[in-house]
Amino acid sequence: HLNNNWHLTSLIFEVFSEFEKYNQLIDLKNNNISFGSVYYIEKAKRYIAQNINKKITISEIANTLNITNQYLCNIFKQVTGSTLIKYINNIKLEKIKDFVINSGLTLKQAGEIVGINDENYISLMFRKYQGINISDLKKVDLRYIPTK
């Protein structure tokens, strides 16, 4: 009986997953977003994740994908609703935040891991992109952060 419930749950999940994919495809078509655009964006995101430890430029990503900078920026905004620079910076800031809170690294150490060596610039980025004052991040009591 337990095995049948698990099988039924698995099938229901699979149906909902396929339904969600179908809805996403409809959303893409309704917004005139091509599947090729989504492909390029996924490749760009993968490139960013693999190179998060260094300075990443739009030209570098576009060259890797063999498309123009302008086309990359346009489709990125169309597909994600965010600019490419904002996306890259937010990914870097999330990594920095994770290192500071969960690994006990200093802001400078965490910044260096993601290719940003200037603490003042990191502080400016946190205010600009996430509305966080960096001094608030430093005040987090690590004893109350759940371990992973």
Per-residue pLDDT tens listing for the chain (148 residues): 555 666 666 767 676 666 555 555 555 555 666 767 888 999 999 999 999 999 999 999 999 999 999 999 999 998 888 999 999 999 999 999 888 888 888 889 999 999 999 999 998 998 888 887 877 765 654 334 343 3
Residue 22 has a pLDDT of 52
Phi, psi of 97 (to 5 degrees): -60, -45
Residue 134 has a pLDDT of 74
d(Cα 22, Cα 3) in Å, to the nearest integer?
A: 29
SS3 18: helix
Residue 20 has a pLDDT of 59
Residue 12 has a pLDDT of 72
Residue 36 has a pLDDT of 76
**Closest by Cα among 124, 128, 126, 129 to 101:** 126
Instruction: Give the torsion sign (CA, 67, 73, 79, 83).
Output: positive
Residue 80 has a pLDDT of 87
